[in-house]
Structures are given as structure tokens and as C-alpha cells.
Structure 1
Amino acid sequence: MRVKLLISILAAGGLVAIFLSSYRLGTDFYEPQYFFTTPFPPLVDPDSAPESFHLPLRTRGRYIVNSRDERVKLASVNWYGGSDLLFVPGGLDVRHRDDIARTIRSLGFNSVRMPYSDEMVMDNPMISPDLLLANEDLIGLRALDVYIAVVESLAEAGIAVIINNHITQATWCCGINLCDTAWYNDYLGAACRVRQTEEQWIENWEMVMASFVNTSLVIGADLRNEPRGLWGTMPWEKWAAAAEKAGNRVLALRDDWLIFVEGVSSSNDLSGVKDRPIVLDFDDRVVYSAHVYSWSGWGSLDGMYAKRPFNSFVKSMNENWGYLLEKDIAPVWVGEFGGPWESLANGKDLHYWRNLMRYLKMVDADFGYWALNPRKPANYDNETYGLLEDDWETPILDYRVRDMLELSRQEGKSIYG
């Protein structure tokens, strides 16, 4: 039996709403999927002074801290395109990059994760003018120069940037193509359209990061998106050794960058850190990163997170990465998670979202939403997880933005102190 109740009350100061959406009697969906009774939080004035990060940043136990030893919480959003088949961050044909940066600030984000592909670095193609119509000063530039210009615009707007090596071949991520599951694929030979050794991967990192040595608000490097083997066969120890090698080479360029290291099994699993932590040549540089989606958890006896009761969800989070916060070992940045537009969200989507928001508030973790973009590069398909309308200006103000504004403004300590 499905029960739906939707009560909306328009009140002074904002929309006051109670949503008890799509739960099934006799299943785990007893609790409301989302439930709020306070006005929508105000957006950030993009003309206000940006957050002062008091650089450089470093880690202290479970927190990222600034030069004053104050906690800095990363409230990030992903702006993709540089890693995809067109080699260019999305939206530059619609709106100037400086104006997109202002919109990002207005949504309460203080940082952006900027993906790139190794193919973008190696081929560095000329970007089609049609993709840069709102940024005419970039017409005639190659992919890496356009990418650099976008990062510089974000930094000039006071937004911190995390550079992310997302994929080897320039395409949508992520599938089971073995040519893209790891940071190297040379063992597959001619089977891969873009072939890469571990050393080439690191050299690509050096080429990209050399461009940002003097850009203070480029705060770090997310070394590889969702490292994985076929059916969970990537050993943490193998990835950890490669991450240390790459991290040290990046830090040789500038030693105050943060090095973000994702978990294996598509960034779900950081349990290996307890026995084999990342150790770099410079202390207090490592931030671990996890990804948490509704379909995550597949292959386990408890099933996907979209179907889990809260206690089961918490158990998996704690085992996979929450223990790093609980034991004050290292920061964890949940660098990807997301949900569909409210008009498309079903009961399972909202159940997952509610559990994740509840957990992130409990542990007060840093976070990065996927994604800003309203459209995917391939076929101009709708990005149903996107936060902007097609004009790259109008925000979609639904449950996602509301909850992330609250997360970014969360005061006080986590349950771990």
C-alpha cells in the first residue's frame, strides 16, 4: 500500500512545507522521506565578501584547518565537462564563466571540484568556438588553457578549487570499461583508445598543477575519480602506493596543497586506511574522499543504499569511512553524491537523500555535490541531478539546495566532538 501526503503552506518569510512522500506500509520506508517546517534558507549575496580561507590549509585530525588553526568546511559542487567528450567545462556557450562563479557562490558553495581527463591533457585539442559563445576571449584557445581560465575565474571570485583527474578517455564516467577503471591501462594494449602508464598519469598531473602553482585558491588535487577493478577487485594497497607516488610528485611543485585520495570500489570503500594509511613526504596533507549515491552498496547483502533503513546505512558509512572521523584520524570529503530534481524524485531517492543528510549532519563531514550542470555533453541530455536551469543562471531551489545550505551553515560539533 502506498501512502502519499503533500501539505504546502505559504507563509511569511518563505515556503513552509511538510512532505511525507511515498512510503510503503510493511517495508523499511516507515519514516517520512523528507520533512521540514522552516522557511527556505536565504541564498548568499554574490556581491558580499567571499569567505576568507586564511591560507594555507592543512589537516588536523579529522578536520581541514587554516593558518589560524580554525576549521574550514568544504561545501563543494562539481562543475563537469573538462573530463568529457567535448573537453570543456559546461555552460561556456551560455554564460560568462565569471557570472557562473557568482551563481555558485549564491548557492552557498565555497569550493568547486573541477574534473579533467587525461586525454584532454595529452591531446589538448582546440575547443570549438560554438562551445565558447559567451566567453569570446577564450575562442581560439586549446582545452587546457580554457580549463585554466575557468579555474582562475573561480579563484578570483573567492571560490576554492580542487582539481580532479576524473577519467583517462574523454567520456562520461563511470562504466565497466577497463580502460578507465584505473589510473593506468597500458597492460591492456591496443584494447584502449587512449593508453596510459602510471608514469604518464603522474606526468599529466604535473602538467596540470604546474599551471596553478601561483593560484592560491587552488587548494588541492583529487588524484583519481572512483578507482576500481572489475567487480570490486582493486586492492586498496595497490591504489595507496600509486596515490603516494603521485601525491609526492604534486607536492614537489607546491607543498601546501591538500592531496585528496578516494576510496576503492568506486570511492565507496576507505576501510583499508586503518591498516594502510596514505603517508606522504609532507605531513598534514591527506584528505580522504568517499562517494555516496543511492545505488551505492550494490553487491552487499544489505543491498543498495536507497533501500536501507537508517541503522543499516549508518553501519556501512561507519565501516567504509566514518571511522576516520570518529577516531579523529583524517578528514573525509564526500566528493560526490546527488539526487534528482524534486519533480522526478521517487520514494527511494528521497529515502536515500534523507539518510545521507542525516548522517552528514551527525558527523559534520565536508561535502561535494554532483553536479552544477543542467545538461550532459552527449546528446545534450538533461542532467537530472543538476542544480541550474538551461540558462546557467536560474537555480533549481528544491530539497537539495535547501539541505545543502543547512549543511554548509551547520554550527557546533559532530557527534564525535
Structure 2
Amino acid sequence: MVAEGMSKLPLDEISKAIGAMGFNCVRLTWPTFLATNDPLANITVRQSFDRLGLNFSDVSLIERHNPALVDLSLIEAYQAVVSNLGDNNVMVILDNHISKPGWCCSRTDGNGFFGDTYFDPNVWVEGLNYMATLFGSHKNVIGMSLRNELRGPRQNVEDWFKYMAMGAEAVHAANKDVLVILSGLSFDNDLGFLSTRQLNVSFSSKSKLVFEVHWYSFSNSEAWGNGNPNDVCGRISGSVTNNAGFLLDRQFPLFLSEFGIDQRGVNERDNRYFSCAMAYAADKDLDWALWTLQGSYYLREGVVELEEVYGLLSLNWTTVRNQTQLQRVQSIQQPFRGPGLSEVPPYKIIFHPLTGHCVTLDSSRRLALAVGPCSERWNFSDDQTLSLTTGSTPSCITTVGVGMPVALTECDDVMSSKWALLSSCHMHVSTKVAGGNATVCLDVGGDDRSVITNPCRCLGGDASCDPEGQWFKLVTSTRLIIS
């Protein structure tokens, strides 16, 4: 119930670091009991640590870094975090993560679904109303997530519709301005039941309701470990669309409110999944929240000072755990075609999810291409050419040969390459080598910068093969590019 990291750094430093890394919003968790159990909510931060038997040094460090917090009540400390984020122009989504404070989540923890031991629907609605009212004056609180990861043996569609409508109405009645964010079933992997039925609420649903979905490698762990990555990415991306992505086609906002990776880069299943998820998020232009910021926990599942390897920050909170991974997610922090981005006609970027870069002109070599900023407008035409949409003379990407850098040629040149999207994930951008039958795919050269063509990898179903370097996603964008 106390935001992590208060024993590591001053709150204001953490808030500023969030903005400096390019993030504009925090999904801040809270347990129902913080809003509905006054004796619990009104103990101080110091008393809470004492009750849990945590080392006195934790309180001393909070007192050193955040002296104004240590003797506030838990609910006041939560408010202080929200306010400080607002002072630093960071938006907040209040996320009702669990009822009874503790680590989340399991199917049998008593917090999973309406009617579970700690999940009384009436108490939950009371808590939502309390928090929506309490934070009504905090203009940086822009949304309330009604409940994280509904799950367990009690879960069913009828109760979802009944109680989610109750929760949504309670939040709307208390605060007309915040977005109402609704999670699905099965640990928020499934919103498919909305394909045939809508949630009935008294307010305009398409101006206020947002649906959220989660996506991790461990949701499909065996597939990522044992399957061909091209096939697995194609199949699971299709499943995400069937379970949640279809809502975009119905003009409902979809929020990928949890996705993430072991930041150390040692988990092969995570690594395979994350490039796929990055491509999907870019292609669908999703809003998203990365799990997670914190480098450590005061106490998690009985372990004091547990390190969070999915955390963007290191154990000491003063450095980024993996600068390369941060760079990757920064590539999708700005919308590609979201609201307000209609300054230019739609064009394509050629996005390389493994690096977070895009195919662009190589400033050091004339008519050569490299991976770098997403600063070029491409067109993928009906005649299967990939051409620049700027300049007086159209230029097309053309293969020169196996292992060779691609070139830009005039599009009416008979040598201009025709490109096709191969494999189940549609991310192998392929062509035939001029004068031969060899099929090659866009790739990144050994200098980790130049764009070349190589024989297409992993098309044969080999589970041990790694195709990520050859994954390029053609993403539609209307973002204004300023040269």
C-alpha cells in the first residue's frame, strides 16, 4: 500500500525520471481495503512497516529520502504520490489491483472474482466510489481501472456484465471526467465475449469506456519455448486479436495495460514474445503500460528487498537496468496514427521490433539504407514495390544480392524489386534476387546498422531458429515527420 522505491530515492526524483524516460502515465495500483478499511488506511507508513516486521532501516531510509511521507497515513501517502506525479506532468490511472493487500495474482488467492473470500462486490463498489471522489480534484488522474486480472473458478460472463456495469456507473457518478477501464477474464487475457454483446451503461460508452488486455510470454510459455517463432507469433497475435483486438475495429479504445520482459535478456521465451508484442502494439497503435518500473519490492511473497527483473530500473533504482530495452519501448511511446495525428496522408514505416528502429536513409552512404529513427515515409504499393513517398523522383528499395546492402533505385527501373510478406507473422519482407530464383529477406548487417538482404530464416518450422533480426513490420502512420 506504499508506493515502491520510497526508501531508495526522493519521490520527486522518481517522478522526474519517469518523464525523462519518455513515459507520460503511471498505472498506480491500490487495494480495495485501502479505501474501505479505515483502521488499515489510517495507520501511518511507519506503523505499516512495523506491523510487517520489516527492517528498521527501511523506515530510516524512507525518513531520509521522503521525510514528509513516513508519518502520513497510508491513504495520505498514496495521495502524495499521485500529487507529485501530477506536479511532474505525469498522468495516473488508479488501478484496483486486488482487495486484500498482498502480491497478485493466483487463481485461489480469494481476490480473483466477485464473491471470492475478499471480493465482496458491494465493498468493491464502495471502494471505487471513494477513490473516484477522493481524486476528483486531481486533474492528472485520467482513468480508473475497475479491477485487475479477473480470474479463478468463480469467473463467468454474466457476473462480469452485471458487476462491471455497477462499477462503471459508480465511478461515472462520482467523477464524470475519468476514463473507465475494464479488464477481461482469465487474468485479463479474454474479452472475446464482447464480440456478441455490449456492456450497457447510462453514459456514452464510446467516449468514456476503455478495455484493457494483458499479454506476457508465460501466458503461452510452451508455445514460445517449443514452437517456430514465426508460426507462434502469427498464431498468438491472431489469438490476441480474437480475444481483444477486434474491439479496435468497433472503435473502442484498447489498452495493453500490462506487457513486459525479463530486462536482463536471459529469458529466450520472453525475448521471442517481446519482438512479436512490440510489432503488434506498433501495428495496432495501442496505448500500453510496461510492467514494470520498480527495481525492487519492500516485501514480496515473504522476501524482503526482492529484486524485480522485469523492472525498468535496477535494484538500486538509480540506473536503468537495460538501456537497449528502454530504447526499444521508447520507439512506440508516441502514437503513429492516434487522435490528432491527421496532418499527413497515411504512409508506412518499416519497423524493426528487435531494435525499436525503422528503415531509414543512411546519411553516411548515398542511396543506402540503415536502421535508425522512424523518419521516412514509405509506400507499399499494389505492384509490390517499396518506395519513398517524398522527393521529386520516386525511389524504390532494390536488392543487390545475398549479403549485400539494399539500394534505392528509380521505381521505373526494370531492376526494381517486388516485395512480399512471408511467414505466418507476415514480417519477413522478401524478394527474389535479380537474375536468379533465390528468395532473400530484409535483414540487419553485422554492423547492427546497415539494411541488407540474406536468405530468409526460420521459414521451415524449426523451433530452435531465431528469425527476429529479419522481422520488419510495415506499420501505417500519419505522424508528421519534421526533417
Compute the TM-score of the two structures, normalised by the length of structure 2: 0.62
**Hey, what does 2:399 align to over in structure 1?**
none
Q: Is the 8 A contact 1:101 1:153 kept in 2?
A: yes
Residue 410 of structure 1 and its aligned partner are, at CA, apart by 4.5
1:398 CA drift (Å): 3.3
Give the aligned length: 316
User: 1:132 and 2:28 equivalent?
Assistant: no
**Partners in 2 of 1:416 and 1:158 — Cα distance?**
26
Question: Does residue 331 of structure 1 match 2:253?
Answer: yes
Rate the CA distance shift 1:216–1:198 in 2: closer, same or farther, 3 A.
same
Kindly indicate whether residue 101 of structure 2 is the aligned counterpart of residue 153 of structure 1.
no
Q: CA deviation at 1:130?
A: 4.0
What does residue 132 of structure 2 align with? Answer: 209
Could you say which residue in structure 1 is the equivalent of 2:316? 391
Q: Tell me if the contact between 1:262 and 1:290 (Cα under 8 Å) persists in the aligned partners.
A: yes
Cα offset, 1:415, TM superposition = 5.2
Q: Quick one: which of 256, 261, 269 aligns to 2:182?
A: 261
* Amino acid corresponding to residue 383 of structure 1 in structure 2: E
Q: Secondary structure of 2:236's match?
A: helix
1:250-306 Cα offsets, whole Å, 9 max, x none, are 1111112100001110000011112222232221110000000101147xxx84698
CA displacement at 1:319 relative to structure 2? 0.5
Separation (CA, whole Å) in 2 of partners of 1:170 and 1:303 = 33
What's the CA shift for 1:196? Answer: 4.4
CA distance in 2, matches of 1:416, 1:317: 21
* SS state at 1:181 partner: coil
Contact 2:188 2:214 survives alignment (8 Å): yes
Question: Superposition pairs for residues 5-16 of structure 1, below 5 Å?
Answer: none
Q: Which amino acid aligns with 2:319?
A: T
User: Following the alignment from structure 1 to structure 2, what is the Cα–Cα distance between the partners of residues 405 and 153?
Assistant: 23
**Which of 208, 230, 243 is 2:164 aligned to?**
243
**Equivalent residues of 1:371, 1:386 under 8 A apart:** yes
1:416, 1:406 → 2: CA distance?
13
**CA deviation digits over 1:40-64, x for unaligned, max 9?**
xxxxxxxxxxxxxxxxxxxxxxxxx
1:164-202 per-residue CA deviation (whole Å, 9 max, x = no partner) reads 1101121111112241112442xx5xxxxxx44211111
Choose 345-354 or 404-413, whichever is displaced more.
404-413
2:9 aligned residue: 95
Check 1:92–1:320 CA distance in 2 against 1; reply closer, same or farther (3 A cut). Answer: same
State the one-letter code of the partner of 1:127. V
Whichever residue aligns with residue 352 of structure 1, its letter is Y
Tell me, in whole angstroms, the C-alpha distance in 1 between the residues paired with 2:199 and 2:88. Answer: 32
Q: Does 1:179 align with 2:102?
A: no
Instruction: Pick the structure with more strand per residue.
Output: 2
Q: Which residue of 1 aligns with 2:198?
A: 277
- Structure with larger Rg: 2
4+ aligned runs moved over 6 Å, structure 1: none
Q: In the alignment, is the contact (CA less than 8 A) between 2:33 and 2:100 conserved in 1?
A: yes
Deviation per residue, 1:216-272 (Å, 9 max, x gap)? 110010000000123xx6223311221111111111111121000011100000111
Residues 214-363 of structure 1 correspond to what in structure 2 (within 5 A)?
Answer: 214-230=137-153, 234-283=155-204, 284-297=207-220, 303=223, 307=227, 309-325=232-248, 327-342=249-264, 344-363=265-284
Aligned-partner residue type, residue 68 of structure 2: D
1:109 to partner: Cα distance: 0.7
SS of 1:380's equivalent? strand
CA distance in 1, matches of 2:218, 2:256: 15
Q: Secondary structure of 1:162's match? A: strand
The more displaced of 327-336 and 306-315 is 306-315
Whole-angstrom CA distance in 1 between matches of 2:477 and 2:159 = 31
Q: For the Cα contact (< 8 Å) 2:282–2:336, is it kept in 1?
A: no
CA distance in 1, matches of 2:21, 2:291: 14
Name the SS for the 1:367 alignment partner: strand
In structure 2, what is the Cα distance between the partners aligned to 1:175 and 1:352?
22
The residue type equivalent to 1:99 in the other structure is E
Code of the aligned partner of 1:139: V
Structure 1 residue runs of 5 or longer lacking an equivalent are: 1-86, 189-194
Q: State the SS of the aligned residue for 2:142.
A: strand
The higher relative CO (CA closer than 8 Å, separation ≥ 6) is in 1
Cα separation, 1, equivalents of 2:226 and 2:71: 45
Alignment of 1:3-42 (within 5 A): none
Q: CA deviation at 1:390?
A: 3.1
Instruction: Give me the whole-angstrom Cα distance separating, in 1, the residues matched to 2:162 and 2:477.
Output: 30
Mapped partners of 2:89, 2:327: distance in 1: 22
Tell me the residue number matched to 2:328. Answer: 403
Instruction: Give ranges in structure 2 of 5+ residues lacking alignment.
Output: 47-58, 338-345, 347-474, 479-483
**Could you tell me how far apart the structure 2 residues matched to 1:333 and 1:287 are?**
7
CA distance in 1 between partners of 2:109 and 2:32 (Å) = 15
**1: CA distance between counterparts of 2:224 and 2:336?**
31
C-alpha RMSD of matched pairs (Å): 2.2
Query: Is the CA contact (8 Å cut-off) linking 1:202 and 1:249 kept in structure 2?
Result: yes
C-alpha distance in structure 1 between counterparts of 2:245 and 2:225, whole Å: 15
2:28 to 114, 127, 131: 114
Secondary structure in 2 matching 1:172: coil
C-alpha distance in structure 2 between counterparts of 1:392 and 1:143, whole Å = 22
Distance 1:228 1:150 in 2: 29
